Amino acid sequence: MESEATRKVALLAVKILRLRDREMESIILLYSAFCALLLVILLIKKWRSSLQRPTLPPGSMGLPYVGETLLLYSQNPDTFFATRQKRYGEIFKTHILGCPCVMLGSPEAIRYVLVTQAHLFKPTYPKSKEKLIGPSALFFHHGDYHTRMRKLFQPSFSQNVIRNLIPQIEAIATCALDSMSCTGKVVNTFHEMKKFTFEVAVLSIFGYLDTSYKEMLKKNYHVLDRGYNSFSIRLPGSSYTKSVTARRRLDQILCEIIEKRREKKRVDDEKDDLLGRLMNFKDEKYGKYLTDYQIADNVIGVLFAAQDTTASLLTWILKYIHDDSKLLEAVKEEQKVIYEANDRGQRGLTRAQTRNMPLTDRVIMESLRMANVISFTFREAVEDVEYNGFLIPKGWKVLPLFRNLHHNPHFFTDPHVFDPSRFEVGHKPNTFMPFGNGVHACPGNEVAKLEILILIHHLVNKFRWEVVGSKNGVQYNPYPIPWRGLPAKFWKES
């Protein structure tokens, strides 16, 4: 009886164990199914997330290191931009001057970078360019430093200062035109305009500057300028190496000029020029003055911004009005009224007169649009930025394309026809940005316009000129200029 009972208990135990095993198997199966389902859900979420995550814009990065630099700078930028926009759209990636870049061609995108979300994009240039200009230059910065320096710059370009510059700019303009016309030989108009704009830049920065220092600055700045857009290859005799050497010499020259001014205690006497303001500037937040090298960086920055761009624009203006005889006569008529009112030039121009040259002003505006001396500007993303479904990675350069706006037929009818009358009416917002936009717009644009107006006034009233050779063609240096710098003969009207 006991053995039978034991056997039954054992059988019952086996059944219970088998039942528990089946239950455990079911539990394990259910758990495994749950884990598998959870994994599938997570994978689906990850897949969907990857579909929604912004990707880099389409485009080509070109050759290793070189990228597409040679393609951009060796041809008409319109061709470079247009072919890529046609292929990739209004936003595309490329590789320029050793930097990965995103180029933007729509008004909305340009405003996004320069105005509405400007805090996400700091002003920057490729490192090779920053080294040649100087890391403390105004246009390489944003935030507190930029704000303080821009406030420092603004009084040097105020209406009162501009008014006082007029007689001296007139003297520089007439001297430049006399020099161009005295030999009767063909001159390179662009080179002559560079001499003129350099003198005006020196006047704005230093006021009076000893001729020997001026010549040393001109000589070394010319060497720096020639290597500015070259590849940053430090080989003996290369353009970039020569530019770096010239930049060091410019530091030495500028530090000597600063020291001599301190010795003569002329800082307070000449505070209206930019150098005086830079030397007098004391940071309210930190209680420190700018170092001599910070001052030098900002001086070189102003020379860079003031010379080639304005000289290129002036050269185009002379070509445009030379090629259109009716327009030239109309500009002459406008300027002649002012010339006669000033006793045929016996009295100097006034600020009111320079602000009352509507046709000449429209010629300048249309030349800015047509020539597009500044095709784009550089910014850098300070963090990963998503725009229109595309990723702009932190550290990438961002290039708003002003040229694309100015030559867009949706914004300017017949964009490749020179027509100053188009500026008799307003243009669409954010479609005309020759001096940039937002807090980093060019602070010296009024001085640039003033020197152009003054030179044109004296040119059309006292001189004549004739373009020699081909009137067509564009040369990129890297700014667009008429072919071979617009060779021309200038002579004084008898």
Alpha-helical runs (H) found in 235-357: 239-263, 274-280, 292-306, 308-323, 325-341, 351-354
- How far is it, in rounded angstroms, from Cα 107 to Cα 102? 15
User: Rounded CA gap, 451 and 162, in Å?
Assistant: 10
**What is the structure's pLDDT at 271?**
55
CATH topology of domain 127-492: Cytochrome p450 (1.10.630)
**pLDDT score, position 47:** 56
Containing H/E element for 491? strand 487-492
Which two tokens mark 34? 């749950």
Do residues 402 and 377 touch, judged by C-beta distance below 8 A?
yes
Question: Quick one: pLDDT at residue 258?
Answer: 93
3-state DSSP: the chain helix, strand, coil percent, rounded to 5?
Answer: 60, 10, 30
Q: Which of 147, 161, 268 is nearest to 204 (CA)?
A: 161
Outline where 134-158 has alpha helix (H): 144-153
Three-state DSSP at 474 gives strand
- Cα(103)–Cα(435) distance, integer angstroms: 18
Residue 35, pLDDT score: 67
Instruction: Give residue-wise pLDDT tens across range 324-348.
Output: 999 999 999 999 999 999 999 899 9
Given a cut of 50, the residues of the chain with pLDDT beneath it are 49-51, 267-268, 270
Pair of tokens at residue 227: 């290597």
CA 31 to CA 24: how far, in whole Å? 10
Contacts of 424 (CB under 8 A, 6+ apart): 362
pLDDT of residue 183: 85
In sequence order, the 6+-apart residues with CB closer than 8 A to the CB of 70 are none
Q: Which of 349, 356, 353, 376 is nearest to 97 (CA)?
A: 376
pLDDT tens-digit series, residues 432-471: 888 776 666 777 788 999 999 999 999 999 999 999 987 7
What is residue 357's predicted lDDT score, i.e. its pLDDT? 97
**CA–CA distances in Å: residue 259 to residues 94, 136, 256, 274, 295:** 45, 19, 5, 16, 12
Q: Residue 361's pLDDT is what?
A: 96
Cβ neighbours of 27 (radius 10 Å):
10
Q: Are 144 and 293 in contact (CB under 8 A)?
A: no
> What is the distance between the alpha carbons of residues 469 and 487, in angstroms, rounded to a whole number?
7
**pTM for this entry:** 0.82
Structure token digits, residue 348:
């100097």
Query: CB under 8 Å to 163, separation ≥6 — which residues?
Result: 351
CA dist 477 and 198 (Å) reads 17
3-class DSSP state of 482: strand
> What integer pLDDT is reported at residue 370 of this predicted model?
92
